[in-house]
Structure 1
Amino acid sequence: MTESTATMPATVDPATLKEWAARHDDLMVVDVRSGAEFDSLHIKGSYHVPLPLLSEHTEEFAERLGTRVVLVCQSGARAEQAQQRLAAVGLPTVSVLEGGVPAFAAAGGEVVRGAQTWALERQVRMTAGSLVLAGILAGRFVSPRLRLVAGGVGAGLAFSAATNSCAMGRMLSWMPWNRSAGEPTAHQALQRLRDAA
């Protein structure tokens, strides 16, 4: 028995994804995290299409994806952004893995482990916290106007939450430590999806 594309849920839990992986040859798991995150831990058999790449070439990727697609990231936020972009170009039948790759690994799902790096969300928290602390200290000891740095970071975080986007995360994803030698180009990622079809 197979589910039709009309019955694909918006989200799936790790246990359901494990079951689908065992039952469905047409399942495509698409990981939208950075290269370093993908290299450190990813679901076995998943396709790596970083969110910035998918965002730039949404229509091309939508044409290559199958009918049973699950988007994954670290926590679900970036996968939801990818889901929204794909829905906007006419591919509404993709699911998002609840809890991301770590939840799948914790549930005993088959994963591939490599060199460990901080998750992008953790890097965002460290950067934002450091900027706020620096702004407050600089405002105290250098010039009161430098407290505006802390206010700017706070406003950016509020905007990020309201729009379910993260400019700081996007910038950090392009840093050298978040990119790997295996970071795919659009052509490479599209070719891998084409070969899977």
Structure 2
Amino acid sequence: MHPVIASPADIVALKEQGATFIDIRQREEWKREHIDGARSLPLDDLTAESLRLRADDTVVFYCQSGMRTRNAQEKLIAAAAPANAVIMQGGLSAWKAAGYATQVDKSQPLPLMRQVQIVAGTLVLGGTLAGALLNPLFYIVPGFVGAGLLFAGISGWCGMAKLLNVMPWNKGAS
């Protein structure tokens, strides 16, 4: 059985009918921005027991872009059973692109992986410019960052993410 995949426009009608909205992104992402009334239930924590749905319930699952919900369709169906599972096509990004409102708390830090991307990009750009304009030894910086990202991708352990996670602006995010 496959869940229904619906556009944000179709989802609005379900929202008005009282459907349960479940945001499967990480809790930090949900804290920063989510659809009003949506529950935060990260994919790793999602079980039938955590949802407690009835057969006549409808649950709408969404993530940032729709990728996580698409990849986890079978798990979402199993967790929602016996309720009707609906996956929002395009996730929160499509919801906002369609002009629908979200609850935003800009006091929350950016998601950790976006912070990693910003820092890594800044170090690579800065090291490359410094290597071209000042001294070729600065090319070590982008090389080191690239090696770190390669290691993180292969091993699943990211030293930069670990370091950023203990920064003061991320202390209240957990």
* Common fold by TM > 0.5: yes
Aligned mates of 1:31, 1:111 — CA distance in 2: 12
Is residue 36–residue 180 contact of structure 1 (8 Å, CA) maintained in 2? no
What SS does the corresponding residue of 1:29 show, helix, strand or coil?
Answer: strand
**Which residue does 1:195 correspond to in 2?**
none
In the other structure, the counterpart of 2:44 is: 55
What's the offset of the Cα at 1:15?
A: 0.9
Q: Is the 8 A contact 2:34 2:102 kept in 1?
A: yes
Counterpart-to-counterpart distance in 2, 1:179 and 1:34: 16
Q: Paired residue for 1:64?
A: 52
How far apart are the structure 1 equivalents of 2:9 and 2:126? 43
Structure 1 partner of 2:66: 76
Q: State the superposition RMSD in angstroms.
A: 4.4
TM-score, normalised with respect to structure 2: 0.60
CA distance 1:70–1:148, shift in 2 (3 Å): same
1:9-20 mapped onto 2 (5 Å cutoff): 9=4, 11-20=5-14
| Identical positions, percent | 30
SS at match of 2:59: strand
Note if contact 2:20-2:38 (Cα within 8 Å) is conserved in structure 1. yes
Indicate yes or no: 2:91 matched with 1:100.
yes
Unaligned runs of 5+ in 2: none
Measured against aligned partners, the alpha-carbon deviations of 1:134-181 in whole angstroms (never above 9, x if no partner) come to 89889x63897x946514524755x79xxxxx876xx67x93655757
Paired with 1:20 and 1:175, the residues of 2 have a C-alpha distance of: 37
SS in 1 for 2:64: coil
1 or 2 for the larger relative contact order (CA 8 Å, sep ≥6)? 1
Alignment match, 2:36: 44
Q: 1:107 to 1:151 in 2, by over 3 A?
A: same
Contact 2:6 2:88 in 1 (8 A): yes
| CA deviation profile, 1:29-82 (whole Å, cap 9, x unmatched) | 111233443233211111112x2xx41453533x52454222222222333455
Match of 1:153 among 149, 152, 155: 149
**More divergent stretch after superposition (93-102 vs 79-88):** 79-88
